[in-house]
A and B are shown apart, each in its own frame.
Chain A
Amino acid sequence: MSNVTFKFDGVDYVGQAGDSLAAALLKNGVLHFTDSTYRDRPRGIMGLWIDEPNALVNIDSGAGEPMVQATTVEVVEGLVARSLSGIGDLPDTRDLSRYDRAYRYADVLVVGAGLSGLAAAKKYADLGKIVIIMDDKPEVGGHANQCGEIIPAELMSVLTRENVTHLQRTTVIGTYDQGYAVAVERRTDHVSSKVSTDVARIRTWHVRAEHTVLATGAFQRPLVFANNDRPGIMLSHAAATYVERGVTKFKTAVVVTIDNQGYIDAIRLHKSGIRVLAIVDVRKKLSKASNKSARKPAEKLGIRIIKGATALDTNGTLDGILSSVVVSDPKSGLRETIATDLLAISGGWTPTVHLATYIGIKPTWSKKRAAFIVNSKVKSISTVGMLAGDFEEYEPAVFFGPELDDTQALVAYVDHQRDATLRDLRRAVGAGMISIEHVKRYTAIGTAHDQGKTSGTLTMGLIGNLVGLAPDEIGSLTFRPPYIAVPFAALAGRERGLHTEPIRTTSIHPWHVAAGAPMEDVGQWKRPWFFPKPGEDMHAAVLRECRAARNGVAVMDASTLGKIDIQGKDAGAFLDQVYTNMFSTLKVGMSRYGLMCGVDGMVFDDGVTTRLGENHWLMTTTTGGAAKVMDWLEEWLQTEWPHLEVFCTSVTEQIATVAIVGPKSRELLALLSPGLDVSKEGFAFMENKYADVAGIPARIARISFSGELAYEVNVSAWYGLELWNKVMELGASLDVTPYGTESLHVLRAEKGFVIVGQETDGTQTPDDLGMDWIVSKKKDFIGKRSFSRADTSRPDRHQLVGLLPDTSEFVIPEGSYFAEIQHKGATPPIPHIGYVTSSYFSGELNQSFAMALVQNGRARVGERVAIGNETAVITEPIFVDKENVRRDG
């Protein structure tokens, strides 16, 4: 093993590659690791793996990581870590590491590569199944490996079989129905302390397997006695493993046990050169088998065995490090203090039941094993090994700690990280709580980073002792994913930064980018917001763009509008149902604006729909509403009206649309399409014509969303950019001006056109918006019945109005609430009467203006309102061209 240098709490250490940070620090003689969160008790390393309740560290090298257990960090050259007293912190800098995700299907997923997991993998691999075996530790072998056993070669060889995928350092964090499991694979932190930009640092695996084998093993339990939290007190298998692997800090040991594991570990310690002063076994009598396998071998080595006794208390040095243990047997009156620097506790095994409980398999209490074990009866899930109780030969006593008085109980720790003690449990029970769920929340036991891995069963046992019930009468262990803390970045994978959500763009988008337009997010779309000229701010650019649309010619990319091709002889009748207004009477070649309501009668979407042929229509929807409207149409066709001969097809991205707007748009269109009759008489409002525009086959619609003379040129998206370029080129002589979404909003608001989603939030009827004119009184349509509800005709409903601020340059912030004029400048709370939905500065009006929803608003036109210290007058919600004279140019 090669040496590496690492830094811990500012001190340089040399460690051996492959060691955990905990092992490396112990080898360097670091016993006092940190102080506890709430009581500042000195704490050391207690466990070997993710059961560790004390040794939290912050990793400051590489990607950085807050709050990980030193037992799970592998030392590498350049590692920088610092001990934590409970709370870590995230690095300030952006994590540049790479993360990814992978999906995998398999016949069998084996969780845990201990002896039983390997055996299961071999069994299924021998049958020719596709097997994935995942193990969370740095090494294969699980419990056996930790106990220093050699894994048989025939089991090891299964890992390299062609039909077996072996993933080490991979923790299954969640199991779900249908054989679905999620796991995180740590791929680089054990190799380098540097940020991993080429290889994914963590890969999240999403696995679906026909069969899942849970071979998750078990954690060793501590015991609850006074001062059981000193540095130098460890779980016995952890102590033995650390010593076997080169920790030389300890000279003597006392092993306190309730089962045969204590003997096994005592012998391991002895063989590694530690003087084992005593094995203190709470069991007086052992079975023949245990006598033979455990007690005799220990006695043979000359180890003293104290039967029927256990640890009662410990003493420490001035620094709080363990110096001796008080051993007692109240029955015999034995009370002896044994000086030692290592106290190894074997409190029994707690099977790792988490993954089983995630999918609803309940653990059962086994008195014989002093543990909750899982024997799955679910066909697609097997449970094997220690999880299934394969450790009965250890013959544990059902024992969690000695009788303690209140002073002792105050320092008898159950959950070390939470500094929760036996005294806390007594208080909980004293307050009438028995349920583990109540006690957990009252004491915070099991709520720290380790989620009760050492304290869960202990708590149930101890409550049981207090109320005279068995642990399974107290409750059952229930856990929720994730099994370990997982960085959000690992779950996100590549969905970070610009790839968090898809960015949708039109065929013309490259031009907008080249023109330097800032973008506005509209759903997933990026749309150009405005096109600033050098030195212009947004205000100036928008004024200029709107001026061009009102006085010259301006163009915009309208390709993002949702588009749905509708075919079939019943399409007209269908549209009559989905729109509030009539469509079936529309002439071929003509377009009509339509409004859709939900079944509740509230405005749902709007857009222009064109009759392309007798049985052929093209609907447009709002940019953000395209998918929702498509689903809506399909839902009605498939569930309510399957007899209608109608087919819908989304064509949103098939068609690129350039809107040409302004009094000079006719002139520009004539330049672009010389053969086309663009005259007022020859090309009527809402009419559609087919012609080549700039040499591209196009459908031209005379539609206006600004009130001005305007055309929308629709071409195949293949030619969207070409069309735009030609429009700009031929329009140069007319000073054609590209405009973005901000000017679009100003122009339509000046004209009083609503935007669904801006003026509406799903609670507005057409009448609320002053659009009663579009609601047919003759025919039925979706939502119609809701208009007969009393609530939809309440006089105090919020109705759409305009607002003109008295301070002409004051643009009221959108979303502002306002009150009647007498509340001007008053300190809230004051009753409000409405709120602003859209607000802009209009160059045309040379004044700011807004649209707002106001209680009984239409009756209030002419009234003044107070927005803080500002005031405004309520108007009709139309500001420009009330007479509709501009649309003909």
Chain B
Amino acid sequence: MVKVNSAIATSPLGGAVHGGVDKGIYIEEVPYTPGIDLRVDPSSLAFAAVNQALGLTLNPQVGSVVRKNADCIVSHDQQPDANGISALCLGPDWWLLTGTADIQSLLKPVQSAHHISVVDVSAQRTKLEIYGPKVKEILAHVWEQDLRDANFPIDTCTQGLMAKSPVILWHCCENCYLIFVRSSFATHLWEVLSDSTVEYL
């Protein structure tokens, strides 16, 4: 798996924290989240091979999230399972895979036999966790898409521009969202997002 040497690594936001669990909104950079960009045609033989290798069934519905051994740990205060995988479908043949499992190794045999693309993008983006009872209201200051649960339920994801920064937004569990932001935009997004909480803290 993509392991970080935390002694020498730096993240765009240095693990910044804003707000507080008791204040209704909490935002934190959770750096060094593994991220694997997977491209595979769901109508190809490769697709079944990928599913078998990962031990889950990818859902080719754009915006879907499929998880294996991967609970949302944000609000539960529990240790992640060592074999966790979450698969976020970003396009008809495009997934972001994240989790504790060694995804690259799992896919290596498939890669040599089939036309798929597996790219480490762990440093391409950094992850922000944002949660609390006021989270939807606050996100609505910077997020144009519909956040109502009926239209963006738990375990769906979407891409878009948040404060003009390209992000992947994942509704992870109740009142909890994960934002994968392109690293070079992270500081800008952080400043705008944390400022958007000013009337709520």
Interface residues in chain A, defined as those with a beta carbon under 8 Å from any beta carbon in chain B: 98, 100-105, 198-200, 206, 208, 494-495, 498-499, 501-507, 510, 525, 560, 565, 567-569, 645, 647, 649-656, 695-696, 716-722
Contact = CB atoms under 8 A, between A and B. Distances in A.
A567 B146 CA distance: 35
Contacts of A720: 10
Nearest to B120: A654
Given A494-B163, A567-B39, A654-B123, 13 more contacts: A102-B141, A494-B141, A502-B189, A504-B185, A507-B123, A525-B184, A567-B119, A653-B182, A653-B184, A654-B124, A656-B123, A718-B11, A719-B5
Nearest to A130: B148
A105 B148 contact: yes
Contacts of B123: 507, 653-656, 716-718
Contact of A645 (B115, B183, B198): B115
A495 B10 contact: no
27 contacts: A100-B141, A100-B196, A102-B140, A102-B141, A198-B198, A198-B199, A494-B141, A494-B163, A495-B163, A499-B188, A504-B184, A507-B10, A507-B123, A567-B118, A647-B116, A650-B124, A652-B184, A653-B124, A653-B182, A653-B183, A654-B124, A656-B123, A695-B8, A717-B183, A718-B4, A718-B9, A718-B122
A567 B184 CA distance: 24
A285 to B, nearest CB: 57
Contacts of B188: 499, 502-504
B37 interface: yes
A568 B118 CA distance: 11
Q: Decide if the interface of chain A is mainly helix, strand, loop or mixed.
A: mixed
Identify the 5 closest CB pairs spanning chains A and B, nearest first.
A647-B117, A504-B184, A647-B39, A717-B123, A567-B117
Contact of B141 (A101, A567, A568): A101
B195 interface: yes
A507 B32 CA distance: 13
B78 interface: no
Interface residues of B, number: 48
A189 to B, nearest CB: 16
Given A98-B198, A504-B188, A718-B10, A649 B117 contact: yes
A349 B151 CA distance: 42
A103 B143 contact: yes
A625 B123 CA distance: 21
B163 A507 contact: no
A495 B162 CA distance: 12
B81 interface: no
Given A206-B144, A504-B188, A654-B124, A719 B163 contact: no
B8 A696 contact: yes
A119 to B, nearest CB: 26
A645 B123 CA distance: 26
B125 interface: yes
Looking at B11, B144, B183, which has the most chain A CB atoms within 10 Å of its CB? B183
Nearest to B144: A103
Contacts of A507: 10, 12, 123, 183
Contacts of B165: 502
Contacts of A98: 198
Contacts, number: 123
A652 B165 CA distance: 14
B141 A505 contact: no
Contacts of A651: 119, 121, 124
A100 B165 CA distance: 17
Nearest to A208: B146
B149 to A, nearest CB: 11
A649 B119 contact: yes
B5 to A, nearest CB: 7
Interface string B5-29: 1001111100000000000000000
Nearest to B182: A653
A652 B184 CA distance: 9
B83 interface: no
Contact of A649 (B12, B39, B147, B185): B39
B164 interface: yes
A722 B117 contact: no
Contact of A105 (B117, B141, B146): B146
A722 B199 CA distance: 38
A75 B40 CA distance: 64
B77 interface: no
Given A568-B115, A568-B117, A647-B117, A502 B163 contact: yes
A102 B196 CA distance: 10
A133 B199 CA distance: 22
Contact of A104 (B124, B125, B140, B182): B140
A504 B186 CA distance: 8
A560 B183 CA distance: 12
Contacts of A208: 146
Contact of B140 (A103, A504, A652): A103
A105 B9 CA distance: 41
B122 A499 contact: no
A100 B199 CA distance: 11
A525 B187 CA distance: 12
B45 interface: no
A855 B145 CA distance: 52
Most chain A CB neighbours (cut-off 10 Å) among B32, B117, B182, B188? B117
B82 interface: no
Contacts of B196: 100, 494
Given A507-B12, A651-B124, A502 B185 contact: yes
A434 B59 CA distance: 63
A852 B118 CA distance: 44
B124 A494 contact: no
Given A101-B141, A102-B141, A716 B183 contact: no
Nearest to B111: A567
Interface in B94-112: none
Contact of A722 (B10, B124, B198): B10
Contacts of A650: 124
A104 B12 CA distance: 30
B161 to A, nearest CB: 9
A502 B122 CA distance: 21
Contacts of B1: none
A505 B12 CA distance: 9
Contacts of A654: 119-124
Nearest to B187: A505
Interface string B170-201: 00000000000011110111011001101100
Contacts of A499: 163, 188, 191-192
Nearest to A200: B199
B122 A716 contact: yes
A696 B196 CA distance: 38
A535 B2 CA distance: 45
Nearest to B165: A502
Nearest to B151: A105
Contacts of A560: 184
A722 B140 contact: no
A208 to B, nearest CB: 7
A504 B165 CA distance: 9
Contact of A721 (B5, B10, B115, B198): B10
A9 B118 CA distance: 70
Contacts of A495: 163-164
Contacts of A717: 123-124, 183
Contacts of B182: 653
A584 B11 CA distance: 37
A505 B184 contact: yes
A750 B132 CA distance: 57
